Structure 1
Amino acid sequence: MELISVVIPVYNGAKTIKETIESVLQQTYSHFEVIVINSDSTDGTLEIVSSIQDERIKIYNYPKGNAAVNRNRGLTHVSGEFISFLDADDLWTPDKLEAQHKALKENTQAGVAYSWTDAINESGKYLGEFNHAIWEGDVYTKVLLQNFLGSGSNIMVYKAILARVGGFNESLIYYTEDIDIYIRLAAITNFTCVPKVQILYRIHPNSMSSNILAMEASRLQVIQSAFKDKKAASLQHLKPQAVANYYKYLCYKTLDVAPGKQNNLVVGRILWQTVKTDPKLLQKRVIYKAWLKFAVMVLLPTPLANLLMNKFPSLFNMKTIFGYVKIDYD
């Protein structure tokens, strides 16, 4: 059997790291190593990982660094021909490694395999579908427009192919390092899909709501860089579409918080940019739902705003904005 290296960066992950590692140890494909990069945790993470008795687990301690830094640290220790990354609070189904390895072996033109992702909450309760795309082969134009792979806990990639793109961009933050590496991989290799939910992505309430502006700047940096690549030379017309798609995502994120938790200036700015980058939304009901939700959150007392949103959930559900994310490129 070929060795698969699983890289798990962790910082203060005591609440979830054991369950995450156990989801790897329960894999039906057993020839793997687990590279845990402990990034100066102070909450007992190191003790928890050290207590798990399995010779396939290797722990390395480093000063605190962001996700991209810690994944690159992990890459300096891997021995496998194949590499997968797993965030310290996400989970895999038991057949994830086996299915993705098989997909890569059967699709010899592909250097990256991915699966479907569902979302869970802090307690592990199912929240819904996260990404269920089925795009294979040359997916470069698709990934330029949308991160259809979801989280950084998804892919399996040949070590040699990952080395060709030089690992993760350590200047990127708040999950933008994921889409950046997917775009750069798609520029040089084909992707293959396992059409099955195998990644459970844990969503923490309000986990990114205070970082929207930093997320915005980092993702725009990725888009600028991606469209400077020679493979994107004939695709410049997609750049405004890529930007507009991302602002729809940010629009959802800024409003997906409990009343009273929003940053009014940031929400207003993102709503304006969402319309500015896709004026056709002014002809759609969803953008007026967004402004209505914002107005209710700003103008009404928090208890009353909560009452209205609970009584009329469909009126304040912003997930429908994803129906206006454009992925065509003809």
Structure 2
Amino acid sequence: MPLISVIIPLYNSEKTIRETLESVLQQTFSDFEIIAVNDDSKDSTLDILATIKDPRLKVFSYPNRGLTVNRNRGLALAQGEFIAFLDHDDLWTADKLELQLKALQENPQAAVAYSWVDLIDESSQFIRSCPHFKDRRNVYERVLTDFIVVAISNPLIRKSALEKVGYLDESLFGPDDLDLFLRLAEHFEFEVVEKTQFLYRITNGSVSASVVRQARETLKVIESACQRYPESTQHLQKNLITNVYMHGAFRALDAANGRQNGIASAKCLWEAMKNDPSVLRRGGIGIALCKIAALLILPSGMYPKLINQVKQVKKSMNPKNKTQR
């Protein structure tokens, strides 16, 4: 049996699935299976999978039920001792599985190993790095307050731990991964690989229509967590609400392609300000407001060009680049 099961839920994934699978097949650790769970795709996803001749790839097709159901379907099929989820448009660096597995093997008390994260756009171009967290061992509060694992495509998880805390909650829209990480953090230690190993793709379609709803769903998860530990989390609740909406605001801006993203970001920022007016004094808020205004005012397609021009100017002004020239 394979040591690791990689679970990839699929739905109309033709644009990205080949690149995603290549990032798995190039791993320096090779004792894994890939469980591709097709959720009744209508495009050429299955045709692309058929061209990949690797015995580790196993494809299963089901009637359409949604992302979280597909993750759980993959879990039920997994034979590995360790589980790694990977969304169809995300990417891993080549040493991701090897180093996360090593971290868990060196600490038998840990059930989750996570890494650092970079955001990429639809063309696989770098957007920005997420904060480099270094939290180990007992991380419950940090998972709750700072979302240190970022997304489900990041960690390697012991299957025995998943069987203890339960699979993903299919009633949630969006934060099923946060809910799972919190349940795992209640019972197990975490480890971190201090290296960027997960490239999280942000796309316009995946963000604009859902970011406000996802923020509200995330608050449900956080409220449930706070009810379980009222004494230790009561002082955090106001800041938690603010952080959720701020995260949504910046996530919409990361997608940055269209007026709808500006509207979604503005809604989340407004909710954050209503909860805590001091948000306006936080670093980066001025830039965020300028970006929102640009998204709302500029014609469609102009905003990305403007951002690229600003990046080029900043790059040209970097003293290191001048020294290299």
State the secondary structure of the residue aligned to 1:302. Answer: coil
Counterpart residue number, 1:328? none
Report Cα offsets for 1:74-120 as digits up to 9, x if no partner: 01101111111111111111111111111001112211111111122
Report Cα offsets for 1:159-201 as digits up to 9, x if no partner: 1101111110111123x11111111111110100011111111
TM superposition score normalised by structure 1: 0.85
Q: Which amino acid aligns with 1:226?
A: A
State the secondary structure of the residue aligned to 2:138. Answer: coil
Structure 2 distance, partners of 1:191, 1:301, is: 44
Contact 1:118–1:128 (Cα < 8 Å) also in 2? yes
CA-CA distance at 1:216 after TM superposition: 2.1
Counterpart residue number, 2:270? 272
Structure 2 distance, partners of 1:275, 1:209, is: 20
Report Cα offsets for 1:34-85 as digits up to 9, x if no partner: 1110110111111211221111111111111222111100011011111111
Counterpart residue number, 1:49? 49
State the secondary structure of the residue aligned to 1:187. Answer: helix
Structure 2 distance, partners of 1:158, 1:307, is: 40
Counterpart residue number, 1:320? none
Q: Which amino acid aligns with 1:191?
A: F
CA-CA distance at 1:297 after TM superposition: 5.1
Residue-pair matches, total: 311
Counterpart residue number, 1:248? 246
Report Cα offsets for 1:225-257 as digits up to 9, x if no partner: 111224x54222112211111111122234553
Counterpart residue number, 2:21? 21
CA-CA distance at 1:260 after TM superposition: 3.3
Counterpart residue number, 1:190? 189
CA-CA distance at 1:312 after TM superposition: 9.5
Counterpart residue number, 2:208? 209
Alignment of 1:275-286 (within 5 A): 275-284=273-282, 286=284
**Distance change >3 Å, CA 157–CA 279, structure 1 → 2:** same
Counterpart residue number, 2:259? 260
RMSD: 2.8
**Distance change >3 Å, CA 293–CA 165, structure 1 → 2:** same
Structure 2 distance, partners of 1:93, 1:308, is: 28
**Distance change >3 Å, CA 233–CA 64, structure 1 → 2:** farther
- The answer on 1:75 being equivalent to 2:80 is no
CA-CA distance at 1:144 after TM superposition: 0.7
More deviation, 248-257/238-247: 248-257
More deviation, 23-32/138-147: 23-32
Counterpart residue number, 2:123? 123
Structure 1 distance, partners of 2:304, 2:73, is: 47
Indicate the percent of aligned positions where both proteins have the same amino acid. 42
Q: Which amino acid aligns with 1:124?
A: S
Alignment of 1:229-240 (within 5 A): 229-230=228-229, 233-240=231-238
Contact 2:111–2:189 (Cα < 8 Å) also in 1? yes
Alignment of 1:282-293 (within 5 A): 282-284=280-282, 286-287=284-285, 290-291=288-289, 293=291
Structure 2 distance, partners of 1:112, 1:199, is: 15
- The answer on 1:61 being equivalent to 2:58 is no
Counterpart residue number, 2:315? none
Counterpart residue number, 1:302? 299
Structure 2 distance, partners of 1:307, 1:191, is: 37
More deviation, 1-10/214-223: 1-10
**Structure 2 unaligned residues grouped into runs of 5+:** 312-325
Q: Which amino acid aligns with 2:241?
A: V
Counterpart residue number, 1:105? 105
Structure 2 distance, partners of 1:311, 1:167, is: 41
CA-CA distance at 1:130 after TM superposition: 2.6
Counterpart residue number, 1:150? 150
More deviation, 3-12/271-280: 271-280
Structure 1 distance, partners of 2:269, 2:290, is: 11
Q: Which amino acid aligns with 2:184?
A: L
TM superposition score normalised by structure 2: 0.86
**Structure 1 ranges of 4+ moved more than 6 A:** none
Structure 2 distance, partners of 1:308, 1:57, is: 39
**Structure 1 unaligned residues grouped into runs of 5+:** 315-330
Q: Which amino acid aligns with 1:180?
A: D
CA-CA distance at 1:309 after TM superposition: 5.9
More deviation, 211-220/248-257: 248-257
More deviation, 127-136/85-94: 127-136
**Distance change >3 Å, CA 285–CA 10, structure 1 → 2:** closer
Contact 1:209–1:262 (Cα < 8 Å) also in 2? yes
